[in-house]
Structure 1
């Protein structure tokens, strides 16, 4: 289970692989090809056999794509990954800031005389291609479907995953699969649709109360499905994954290769989520003359609103995880003290990752970590999604900031927490920035808002203290989180682009940050659940919502410029720390219990 630190794709591998791809482009008669970091399920996590972007470029981040032309190649990554991409990729790949640089604009500049650009229709969505085609209108640049052009070049490509499926207990799900299928089918009936094509494994697993082991960190079965208006589900997957598992009545397991013929046999209208389904699905239906009803995956909204049982499970998982985090943070403080006393003492980022996972494993309930642990010390902390390797592994030094972003997959819930810890005294700048990040997290934690407010309305609350100092961060403030499913779950988000109204039961992260390249990174993250709120005295009797903080772990008080906090901010933090200490003290070792007393003390005694 421990995170692997094996060597990643080497930068020097990129140029010869790019040359081989260009030979294939010439043989197929195209001027370029798009290589996404995606599989046919369009999720954030992909199996090793689908890491085509990493194979070609060396870039191992969770989002991005490459457009390879005969004379140049652009690697498009967002603000989380630009430092990482420059470090991992050869100069043959130009790092294009995305979404600031639109791929259509880049292509117009790179191909002023027009070009034919190939793409694999199983790796791109209809919505994605519509945006690109609109951007290319009038340019003379054409998009064309091609077979996958990476796979034939990839020697030693891993086999597709064949993890075993398991039934997820109804006691933890809160609702049986039969009821979920009935409710989803009713949504189809109300929209005069005969069926819905489901391509996202977490939606399928939620709907059928299944979990699996096909992807690292994400307990899903990679499968495709068709939900019929009568509540039946045809499930397309390799049968060996379900050996020994009896599926409920109304769930028909069929071979993976039967998916395309099954699509051609449907009668419309058929719901397809064009934001997540591969365009190949639309192509197949259109070729068969079947009417397509573009509409959101019917599982997304109900999956986002956790049942009472799922929320109880999340609270239990966070309590357990908080105790593990307290044991880890106590240990890390001890290591920092040794560093201050003995300059020869060595503790590295890999040591930190391994010890943290050992603390979680000691709970006896950990199924997996929920993502590869981010443990960035000093300048590595400024790489937003940094993943330590044997090559990048850095020892800690007095005065460092240590950013640790991690989480656990437990049967009753998924956790995600970030803490930034001082390794001895730090400079005034680091404390000032940390305090502003903390103020942003507290502002969101205290937010009360009327029903109908979306994550895009709240994102600025977390950024405002940083904006006052002319600072900001290049990632969203929060993402949705699943129930023993994906640690990154939609459609809910705390992001300036999100228009999805927040509703009771949604779990999100609250994680503002600040990063100074080459120096340090700061992020603080708690998970929160949306719940019914109460108007303050004298407030209007509107339908109010608020956040319940689920995460339980101390925040490093030594980094706070206390005089910069308002009375309300100090009160919130003191109350949070009192709750952390009361909740975790019975669950930890005596040494950690004493450390909690110190770490959770009021700011002003």
Structure 2
């Protein structure tokens, strides 16, 4: 029982002289998809973002708008659910002494959320003391050839060194594994949903690289002479490394450098808090990466097209959400380039579709009924590329209110991809376009319209996004999701998502689609579409047919032709 574990945790408060304990979602690599999910263990909450505070008599679980319904269903027995964008923890929790694991937090996060409290760092994680976690097995990292990534690691290192020197620094601490992956052109097996390598590194202004990881992880890249074995540093020996380096200025990143590492570095170096330049460099994909993403999305789109035909025409009397997600995975696995999902598939039927990041399991799976909408949000990691796509599928004629809501979402989706980026060049401005048609009829959605996406890396990547507060200027080579939606709690969910990228065409910056998969035409009120929107749908489905018709069977081909 969770309450017993909560009480076990509370029993430790006296020893550490604390009034409560803070539990984040992330691990010490700040991974969105942590293998050892401490937050889920102590709360039962399975969403990808959240923060719990366990006090002597009360417990709070803070989530964003995507997860409100899910958190209420999974965790409300033992936790008060708070939407963090409406109330920050320090507005509710005040004048207490809270314990935390310094390897799991940055100073910025603690300052933002807990400034009205005193804080005590506890180096041994208290959740690890009351739960048993499986020992995480590791595999060696692997390299990506320049022909795949389009740029050598030497070239990337030179760019980063130039940045270090321009800021009068001597070192940069790269604390985000995805940035290590980009810089060295390596990948790993350390996340269930992303090919990231669990590693950090230090790069000096003299181009020396110290890779912080287990030596066994680096076997392959040592063999390829990508890095000298003497510059592989085990985490346990990190303090020794810092004492061996010459004194100087050290750049650390606010978003990914934990308090633990910041404190170690501060003992001997002057710390400069500057955003890791790799975030921006990584966000702009080169022509080779774009080319691979186009090919990857053709493979992924074919699997999704076959799945949509299958689920709309399956003869089985009973299909569950788990059946649906398993079948989609089966279609993806038909392609030898497919590796694993880029996140847990969301297959929400009827009311479950209103849970933005719902996850069906054999225990909670729902039968898909003829009158249901089915929202399927899924993605894959392929050699070489990352996908993320959502389609809302229907099986019978729907009420006018549902059809109209779907059509307003579709209009917003089309408005995004048709944006002239020479005039409207930030995610904040584009987000307004996506919501415009829903807002005219008093509807909206709680999540952002789009997130950045990595190249054969994390499915969620920054700094760019399409959201209410993002002012990053969009430039050629950036990849984003385009996913407006509408959700009626207890009834249904609607979302249409493609991955799009910024390209240059005749001195114009435009979006183009990576994703090629049919849009549910049985949910469209064509009277609400203008000519430009109808033309867009015609061209989009024609392109899908041209790409896939020769790869489909006769029945699939006939069905797809009817969508044009």
TM over 0.5: same fold? yes
- Alpha-carbon distance between aligned partners in 2 of 1:231 and 1:586, rounded to the nearest angstrom: 50
Matched, 1:38 2:23: no
Write out per-residue CA displacement over residues 130-186 of structure 1, whole angstroms, 9 at most, x where no aligned residue.
Answer: 3235x42xxxx3122122443443342121341331111211100011111111111
- Given candidates 307, 311, 327, the residue that maps to 1:332 is 311
Structure 2 runs not aligned, ≥5 long = none
Structure 2 counterpart of 1:142? 118
| Cα deviation digits, residues 323-382 of structure 1 (max 9, x gap) | 1111111111102xx47xxxxx10111111111011111122101111111100101101
Residue 268 (str. 1) matches residue 248 (str. 2): yes
Structure 2 CA distance for aligned equivalents of residues 149 and 321 of structure 1: 40
Deviations 1:255-309 (CA, angstroms, capped at 9, x unpaired):
2222233234442211111122112222112222x11111111211111101110
Alignment pair present for 1:206 and 2:178 = no
Q: In 2, Cα distance between the equivalents of 1:79 and 1:407?
A: 22
Structure 1 unpaired stretches of 5+: 1-12, 109-113, 340-344, 535-542
Aligned residue among 56, 75, 99 for 2:61: 75
Alignment-derived partner of residue 159 in structure 2: 183
DSSP-derived class of the 1:465 partner? helix
On the 8 A contact 2:392/2:494 being kept in 1, the answer is yes
Deviates more, 1:124-133 or 1:570-579: 124-133
Task: Compute the displacement of 1:428 (Å).
Answer: 1.6
- The equivalent position to 2:495 in structure 1, one of 518, 523, 526, is 523
Deviates more, 1:174-183 or 1:250-259: 250-259
| Matched position secondary structure for 1:448 | coil
- Secondary structure of the 2:550 match is helix
For the pair 1:64 / 2:39, whether they are aligned, the reply is: no
The residue number in structure 2 matching 1:228 is: 204
SS at match of 1:214: coil
How far off is 1:247 after superposition? 4.5
Deviates more, 1:407-416 or 1:307-316: 407-416
Change (3 A) 1:146 1:326: same
- The aligned length equals 560
Of 582, 588, 591, which aligns to 2:555?
A: 591
- Residue aligning to 2:75: 89
* Contact kept in structure 2, 1:57 and 1:89, CA below 8 Å: yes
Counterparts of 1:18-417 in structure 2 under 5 Å?
18-48=6-36, 51-108=37-94, 114-132=95-113, 135-136=115-116, 141-245=117-221, 246-250=223-227, 252-266=231-245, 267-288=247-268, 290-335=269-314, 338=315, 345-417=317-389
Secondary structure at the counterpart of residue 562 of structure 2: helix
What is the Cα deviation at residue 16 of structure 1? 0.9
Q: SS at the partner of 2:367? A: coil
Would you say the 8 A contact 2:141–2:220 is kept in 1? no
- Find out whether 1:474 has 2:474 as its counterpart: no
Distance 2:124 2:457 in 1: 29
Change in Cα spacing, 1:152 to 1:549, as seen in structure 2 (3 Å) is: closer
2:405 alignment partner in structure 1: 433
Aligned Cα RMSD in Å?
Answer: 1.6
Q: Secondary structure at the match of 1:243?
A: helix
Measured after TM superposition, the shift of residue 544 of structure 1 is: 4.2
**How far 1:533 sits from its partner (Å)?**
4.6
Report the CA distance between 1:553 and its aligned residue.
Answer: 0.7
SS state of the match for residue 173, structure 2? strand
Counterpart CA distance in 2 for 1:471 and 1:523 is: 14
SS in 2 for 1:532: strand
Q: Which runs of 4+ in 1 moved over 6 A?
A: none
- Aligned equivalents of 1:512, 1:361: Cα separation in 2: 28
Q: Is the 8 A contact 2:157 2:183 kept in 1?
A: yes
Q: What is the DSSP-based 3-state SS (H/G/I as helix, E as strand, rest coil) of the residue aligned with 2:39?
A: helix
- The equivalent residue for 1:570 is 534
- CA displacement at 1:588 relative to structure 2: 2.5
SS in 2 for 1:188: helix
Structure 1 distance, partners of 2:243, 2:9, is: 33
| Matched residue, 1:509 | 481
Q: Give the 3-state SS of the residue equivalent to 1:491 in structure 2.
A: strand
- Give the drift of 1:90: 4.8
Which secondary structure does the structure 1 equivalent of 2:522 belong to? helix
TM-score by length of 1: 0.90
Q: Secondary structure in 1 aligned to 2:339?
A: strand
